[in-house]
Structure 1
Amino acid sequence: MATATTDGPPAGPPPPVPVPAPDARPLRPARMYTGDVVRVGATGLRTRPLRAWLSALGIAIGIAAMIAVVGISSSSRAELDRQLAALGTNLLRVEPGTSMISGEEGVLPYEATAMVARIDPVYAVAATGNVPDANVYRSDHIPEGRSGGMTVRAAELDLYDTVGAELADGAWLNAATARYPAAVLGAESAKQLGISSVGSGVEVYLAGQWFTVVGILEPVALAGELDLSVLVGWESAAAYLGFDGHPTTVYARAEERYVEEVAGVLATTANPEAPDEVTVSRPSDALAAKNAVDTAFTGMLLGLGGVALLVGGVGVANTMVISVLERRSEIGLRRSLGATKGQIRTQFLAESLLLSALGGVGGVLLGTAVTAGFAAVREWPTVVPYWASVGGVAATLFIGAVAGLYPAVRASRLSPTEALSAQ
């Protein structure tokens, strides 16, 4: 009897299915990109908005103070440059000095103006002469001596253009009025005498002689001594006030590129016999000296702004330290989920930098607004140097990095078990 056979596999347990070997490499923590760092850092600020706002305000006040100081100083300097550009820095002034031998004040010769005019680069020259013992009064009933410090000066007709004067009212002296009792008042003289406009019957009393007021000057920036003066014609000063004809101040305008050379020969030219008794000055130098004083004052204010910025940095550091203490459970949870020490450190450092950046940008905007408002009130151009704005934001980021470094390191050193058990 035949036996049936089968072609299938032999009976028994199935062979084991091969299983791939597990990867022996450790799991890498998820990488945090820049956007993730910013979002995580901003989350800490959003959860405590009042504290973050107050800390940013401290930074903003320091930056705003520094920006406003630099901006106002720069705006003032720009206004000075604008004035000098309009007035010119090529005005030179020649006055009698003190004799080194006798110790007495020197006297400029009658021909001083004409001799200075012969210098080739000099294109405008005019002189004034002090009239001694000629007090100024609004009325002939005022006691002598109460002249308010005003000075009577004989003036040449070219003085108006040479010093860059402007009229507030009336007209400047001309060939006709310079020969008769006519006067032009400086800005401060007009104010002291209570005269705001010229007209029929407006007169001043000079050394027993009535002079008709024909003009009032605006303040003269480069010849401030004229503001408290009463100016009369050269001929009328000699005829009515006993003026001796000696000039006491000679003003000269020279071509800009030759100003230094002209200043070097003015003393010898104005008084060849006694050049050591002549003083030569440049009125614009006084404005430059004033600008130097303003710069020194600006340095002091910048120091105060730096102190305010440091105080703001301390506020940021305080906020970040408290934030680490309050968020220990969050730190422990993130560490338990695989966050590394570097990621925790980056999170808190980013939060500190964001907080400082908000204060820095706000401070720049606030400082710029203060500068613009102050400049508008003073009618100055508004100038805020770009380096001040960029430097202000950079300073806040540096302060933020320094202030947030310790809290960030402290947060990263917390172990997960220690952080979670603390709550």
Structure 2
Amino acid sequence: MSALSRLRIADLLPVATIGLRTRPGRAALSVLGVAIGIAAMVAVLGVTRSSQAQVLAQLDRLGTNLLTVTNAEARGSRENQLPETAASSIGRTEGVRSAAATAQLKDVGVHRTDKIPSHLGAGLEVRASGTGLLSTLDAHLIEGVFLDPATSNYPVVVLGFEAARTMGITEVTGDERIWLGERWYVVTGILQQVQLAPEIDRAALIGFGTATADFGYDGHPSRVYVRADTDRTAEVATMLPRAANPAAPSRVTVSRPSDVLSARLAVADATTSLFLGLGAVALLVGGIGIANVMVISVLERRGEVGLRRALGAARRHVAAQFVVESVLLGAVGGGAGVLLGAAVTVALAHHQGWQPIIPPVAAGLGLVAAIGVGTVAGLYPALRAARMAPTEALRTA
């Protein structure tokens, strides 16, 4: 009988879904296990890609050709001086587009009023700056104007983003003043956040002329910002120490602020591997859940299996029934997991202000992985069902 028996493809699906339709709660739990694993994988890849795209967009916008030159002997937030000719020598270096010097003015307090004791500070600092700083950093103002050749010799100040927020100054009216050292300075501008130069965000910027007149600035910069030709950035970085301090180039440090953003990509990649591993574990647990459900289903449906075998169903037909049922569980769980992972990615991306990106490869591979897990999980129960002898199955039913 078994050699002559036939099972049409059209009949296989209804037969294979009998167990799912009669035990929906158990089937739902099996689907949930697979869905969680696939959702974790899709969400991790989606959130990572969205985050990386944001970082790459920042790098493209801010540029990777910004370099900073400082004294290598600096300690903590205290910057030591560079030679007086450092900025001009750097500006003449081949491959340098522009250079802007700043000088940290030590022991000059930044306060909202003159009533605050000078020894109390808010982590802010005063920097003397040239008029070319804005263009070199590719920075922008929220309000007001930056220093120019005329105002650089007068008691006016431009506040960095964090400095303005700390002192509660949100607009430039012409009447806002702050207390620098022992003098009042009029606020003429507020900078937008400068992501590649956080020290500027915490600074109150004044001109070199007024820094010399009011605070005895001696003309030695402590930090020089450099914009290089993009394709020659690494080469220029090797030439800057000698240009800044020909007598002692080893005392000069050249850094590339965009490397911090690039490091975020490396950290994101490492984190992705960790969470993908956790997603794989969840998927494995889901596969084990499917296998358990299928084994129990075989044991509970011995009578059905025995009856079908007695009526002429071949071993391969019984095996196909349970394999297809397991594959369906995996496929439904995979589809639900892809949708859930995509939803998590979109929600987190919108919360962070990123452009949500769901890699098609992640969705496709997630679904394939779920079907694969379902297939593997159903093989043993299917073979066990197929090996049942009709008489034994009917007797133990």
Give the match's secondary structure for 1:210.
strand
Give the structure 1 partner of residue 41 of structure 2: 66
Once the two structures are superposed, what CA deviation does each residue of 1:325-383 show, in whole Å capped at 9, x if it has no partner? Answer: 12111111211122211221121111111101110111011101110111112111111
Give the structure 2 partner of residue 14 of structure 1: none
Q: Rg bigger for which structure?
A: 1
Q: Which residue type is aligned with residue 66 of structure 1?
A: M
Aligned mates of 2:193, 2:79 — CA distance in 1:
28
1:274-289 equivalent positions in 2, closer than 5 A: 274-289=248-263
Q: Is the 8 A contact 2:155 2:206 kept in 1?
A: yes
Give the structure 2 partner of residue 83 of structure 1: 58
Q: Is the 8 A contact 2:2 2:312 kept in 1?
A: no
Give the match's secondary structure for 1:134.
coil
Shift of 1:420: 1.4
Q: Is the 8 A contact 1:172 1:215 kept in 2?
A: yes
Q: Which one of the candidate residues 164, 176, 200 is aligned to 1:190?
A: 164
Is 1:290 the counterpart of 2:264? The answer is yes
Q: What number of residue pairs does the alignment pair up?
A: 394
Q: Which one of the candidate residues 238, 262, 274 is aligned to 2:212?
A: 238
Q: Which residue type is aligned with residue 352 of structure 1?
A: S
Give the match's secondary structure for 2:259.
helix
Quote the sequence identity (%). Answer: 48
Shift of 1:33: 5.2
Q: Which residue type is aligned with residue 278 of structure 1?
A: V
Aligned mates of 1:394, 1:329 — CA distance in 2:
33
- Can you give the 5+ residue segments of structure 2 that lack an aligned partner in the other structure? none
1:21-170 equivalent positions in 2, closer than 5 A: 28-32=3-7, 34-98=9-73, 107-170=81-144
Aligned mates of 1:64, 1:98 — CA distance in 2:
50
Give the structure 1 partner of residue 280 of structure 2: 306
Aligned mates of 1:324, 1:293 — CA distance in 2:
47
Give the match's secondary structure for 1:370.
helix
Aligned mates of 2:116, 2:125 — CA distance in 1:
16
Q: Which residue type is aligned with residue 18 of structure 2?
A: T
Q: Is the 8 A contact 2:5 2:314 kept in 1?
A: no
Closer, same or farther: CA 119–85 of 1 in aligned 2, 3 Å: same
Q: Is the 8 A contact 1:329 1:422 kept in 2?
A: yes
Shift of 1:46: 2.1
Aligned mates of 1:243, 1:335 — CA distance in 2:
98
Give the match's secondary structure for 1:212.
strand
Q: Which residue type is aligned with residue 159 of structure 1?
A: L
- Can you give the 5+ residue segments of structure 1 that lack an aligned partner in the other structure? 1-25
Closer, same or farther: CA 321–302 of 1 in aligned 2, 3 Å: same
Q: Is the 8 A contact 1:75 1:375 kept in 2?
A: yes
Give the structure 2 partner of residue 15 of structure 1: none
Which shifted more, 105-114 or 385-394?
105-114
Q: Which residue type is aligned with residue 405 of structure 1?
A: L
Shift of 1:82: 0.6
Q: Is the 8 A contact 2:2 2:313 kept in 1?
A: no
Shift of 1:38: 3.3
Q: Is the 8 A contact 2:143 2:189 kept in 1?
A: yes
Shift of 1:229: 1.0
Q: Is the 8 A contact 1:106 1:277 kept in 2?
A: no
Give the structure 1 partner of residue 195 of structure 2: 221
Q: Which residue type is aligned with residue 318 of structure 2?
A: I
Q: Is the 8 A contact 2:80 2:222 kept in 1?
A: no
Give the match's secondary structure for 2:17.
helix
**TM-score normalised per structure 1:** 0.89
Give the structure 1 partner of residue 152 of structure 2: 178
Once the two structures are superposed, what CA deviation does each residue of 1:176-226 show, in whole Å capped at 9, x if it has no partner? Answer: 222111111111111111111111321111110111111111211111111
Q: RMSD value over aligned CA atoms?
A: 1.8
Give the structure 1 partner of residue 308 of structure 2: 334
Give the match's secondary structure for 2:219.
coil
Give the structure 2 partner of residue 373 of structure 1: 347
Give the structure 1 partner of residue 391 of structure 2: 417
Closer, same or farther: CA 389–27 of 1 in aligned 2, 3 Å: closer
Is 1:206 the counterpart of 2:177? The answer is no
Which shifted more, 235-244 or 251-260?
235-244
Aligned mates of 1:286, 1:132 — CA distance in 2:
27
Give the match's secondary structure for 1:197.
coil
1:258-407 equivalent positions in 2, closer than 5 A: 258-407=232-381
Aligned mates of 2:69, 2:236 — CA distance in 1:
11
Aligned mates of 1:27, 1:248 — CA distance in 2:
91
Closer, same or farther: CA 105–378 of 1 in aligned 2, 3 Å: closer
Shift of 1:319: 1.2
Q: Is the 8 A contact 1:29 1:339 kept in 2?
A: no
**TM-score normalised per structure 2:** 0.95
Which consecutive aligned stretches of 4+ in structure 1 deviate over 6 angstroms post-superposition?
Answer: none
